[in-house]
Amino acid sequence: MKIKWAFLCLALTILPVLTGCESLMVLDPKGPQAETQANVIWISIATMAIIVVAVFVLLVIMLVKYRASKQADDYEPPHIEGNPIVEAIFIGIPVIIIVFLSVVTVKTTYQVEATPEHLSKEEPLVVYASSSNWKWHFSYPEEGIETVNYLYIPTDRPLEFKLYSYGPITSFWIPQLGGQKYAMADMVTTLHLAADDPGEYMGRNANFSGKGFAENTFQVKAMPESEFDEWVDDVKKTAEPLTEEKFDELLEPGHLGQLTFSGTHLEFRPAPEGEYSSHQHGADRAHETSHGDHTEHSHHK
């Protein structure tokens, strides 16, 4: 009787919470990568649900079939040898589950890391997404414009984000378009995304980066290609140019609203890739050290 009341109270507690919850953004995908990841989540949930249900069914069977009963004081239970078939099932099923989930995970990881297959022939839109405390800077090098704390993208076109940071490590994440990827100083990481449906989506920094982390968000708006081109033309005509002095001001810690500029900071503050990468910096330092050692050695001679 107590168990029944416990289950009833649990159901009455959970029901109002569930009815008031909005749909999880990661389970409401608006792009191919996000859809792949949502499918993996559902597969994982279904697999775990099957395991939980099976375990509870077996538990009930064991409790009912082998429950304690009144026996004589001198009763001794029979000696039962282990069953190799049952033991093989108990070992084999978890192994099969792990192998299945591993294959699904590895296969889908390669899918979400690449350009969506149905858009592979399209020219990607390259956007340099850099973070600073506590804001996001989006540079469109081909379009020659830059935005702060908001991102406009075309639908049905591959997106190639170049991620890096002007401060601590951050994490670029648009839940309805795909998974997160880290943005770090002195290197660039690449994230491939795409949007299938026009609409507004939430983006944020998913990695704790100080006291302003909670408000380190940005707005994403996906629109048809024609509308995106009109927006780019309008920004070029009306937005103020981004100067190095202005960009240095933007890098100061703090929160800002949405800003728009013509030109990008890549012109005077290139991203740390190619000759600006950490590897090249290390090579330069090694060359300078070697040159210094050689000069000092010659001086002693």
pTM to 2 decimal places: 0.77
**Domain 122-276 in CATH 2.60.40.420:** yes
Q: Is the pLDDT of residue 278 over 70?
A: no
- In this prediction, residue 4 carries a pLDDT of 52
- In this prediction, residue 56 carries a pLDDT of 95
**Range in 144-148, 223-227, 280-284 with the lowest mean pLDDT:** 280-284
The two structure tokens encoding residue 106: 């590895």
- What does the mean pLDDT of the chain come to? 85
Residue range 109-136, pLDDT digits in tens: 999 999 988 988 999 999 999 999 999 9
DSSP result, 217-265:
EEEEEEE-HHHHHHHHHHHHHHSEEPPHHHHHHHTSSS----EEEES-G
- Over range 14-28, report the average pLDDT: 61
CA distance 252 to 257: 14
Q: Where are the domains of the chain?
A: 25-62+84-113, 122-276
- In this prediction, residue 90 carries a pLDDT of 87
Q: Is the pLDDT of residue 82 over 90?
A: no
- Over range 40-49, report the average pLDDT: 95
pLDDT > 70: percent of the chain: 83
- Contact predicate 184/159, CB 8 Å: no
